[in-house]
Amino acid sequence: MKLITKLDQIAATAPCSLALGTFDGLHRGHMAVIHAAAAPGPGLEYWEPAVFTFESSPSGVCSVVTPRDKERLLETAGIRRLYSMRFSEVREMEARTFAEEVLFRKCRAKRLCCGEDFRFGRGAAGDVSLLQRFCLENGVELFVVPPVLEDGEKVSSTRIRAAVEAADIPLANRLLGRPFGFSLEVIHGNHIGTGLGTPTINQAIPDNFVLPKFGVYASWVRVGGKYFAGVTNIGLKPTVGSDRVLSETWMPDFSGDLYGKRVRLFLLRFLRPEKKFGSLQELKEEISKNARQAKEIARACPPPGFGLETCNFSRQS
């Protein structure tokens, strides 16, 4: 997949079938738009599947997918060209200029796919009906994807953020259509876990990423293509202290050095809130208890793999 991050990097290329949106979650609703752009059809075999999006949400809200995971999910879905721009590059463009000069001329879009609530142009003045008019004038096909519903409500990044922040991971997973998680570099911590016999991997939660409710979770961790059940604490580690929000995970069945490596972690279920213990021995006993709980939960949900595969996220999970 080719990544283009600036307007002046866009060069004349093959025509494309272009999905439009912020795609700050790549949830089931977003993926319906992506799949519409990537789906084969009469004439579409000559149009390269592509996405036009922004590196971060224009509204400033936190994403529920990291930039690297976003790229990998799109590539897995069949996207071959990704325009990921800074919003400032197009913020002052009038709606017609954006459509005709950027989408039609620069990107060479022959087919556009978007959701019903797609907006574009300065001040978000353009809507789907205006985009349809521009497409008709320029001989471009427009496919508007209806919303995807869960429990009678539209699937949205707002709902997923609320679920993650409330530690309702099963709901977040159902809305996403895949396990909620992240791929982040393993960094050095204070090595307290090693001294307790429960060595952990530490990953710093990025500032622009949704912040799960502080506490302990059952998790799956992917290391070298293999999956290990984990018990993950997200927060500020009140017993030993931390100056930043960390994801700290112990995998009882794994041993090895992962410092500096990027490790993928999926949260499965919330076990308990963060708690300050009176001693490190109390902390060790609780971690061991939580690890047993996490293994039981992990056994009920097989490792998900990466991409568009899903666990069986039942309402009882």
CATH code (residue 83): 3.40.50.620
Question: Domain check: are 190 and 125 in the same one?
Answer: no
Q: When comparing pLDDT for 132 and 10, which is higher?
A: 132
Same domain, 24 and 145: yes
CB atoms within 10 A of CB 257: 9
pLDDT at position 301: 82
Per-residue pLDDT band for 308 (boundaries 50, 70, 90) equals very low
What one-character DSSP code corresponds to residue 103?
Answer: I
Question: Is the predicted pLDDT of residue 40 greater than 90, yes or no?
Answer: no
Give the residue-averaged pLDDT of 99-111: 95
Give yes or no for residue 189 having a pLDDT over 90. Answer: no
Domain tally for the chain?
A: 2
Is 109 a domain residue?
A: yes
Q: Which helix (H) or strand (E) holds 87?
A: none
Gap between the Cα atoms of 213 and 296, Å rounded: 22
Residue 14 in this model has a pLDDT that exceeds 50: yes
Q: Which of 104, 133, 150 finishes a domain?
A: 150
Percent of the chain whose predicted confidence (pLDDT) is above 70: 89
pLDDT at 225: 86
If asked whether residues 102 and 50 sit together in one domain, one would say yes
* Segment 119-140 mean pLDDT: 96
CA dist list (Å): 260 to 19, 26, 187, 188, 263:
35, 27, 6, 9, 9
Q: Is the pLDDT of residue 86 over 70?
A: yes
Provide mean pLDDT across the span 17-39.
94
Better-predicted residue by pLDDT, 279 or 121: 121
Instruction: Give the residue-averaged pLDDT of 16-20.
Output: 96
Structural domain includes residue 295: yes
Question: Does residue 81 carry a pLDDT above 60?
Answer: yes
Which tokens is 214 given?
């502080």
* Structural domain boundaries enclosing 87: 2-150
Q: Which residues contact 267 (CB under 8 A, 6 or more apart)?
A: 169, 179, 180, 181, 212, 217, 218, 219, 232
Q: Are residues 12 and 140 in the same domain?
A: yes
Q: What digits encode the pLDDT tens for the residues 224-260?
A: 889 999 999 998 755 445 567 899 999 999 988 899 9
Question: What's the whole-number average pLDDT of the chain?
Answer: 87
- The pTM score is 0.86
Amino acid residing at 23? F
Residue 184 in this model has a pLDDT that exceeds 90: yes
pLDDT at 186 over 80: yes
- Asked whether the predicted pLDDT for residue 312 surpasses 90, the reply is no
Amino acid at 189: G
pLDDT digits (tens, 9 = 90+) for 213-226: 999 999 999 998 89
Mean pLDDT of 203-211: 91
Cα separation, 245 vs 308, in Å, equals 28
Tell me: do 241 and 101 sit in the same domain: no
Is 311 among the domain residues?
no
- Is 221 a member of any domain? yes
What was the pLDDT predicted at 150?
Answer: 94
Confidence of residue 44 (pLDDT cuts 50, 70, 90): low
Contact residues for 29 (Cβ-Cβ < 8 A; gap 6+): 115, 145, 147, 148, 154, 155, 156
Report yes or no on 15 lying in a domain: yes
**What CATH number is attached to the domain comprising 189?**
2.40.30.30
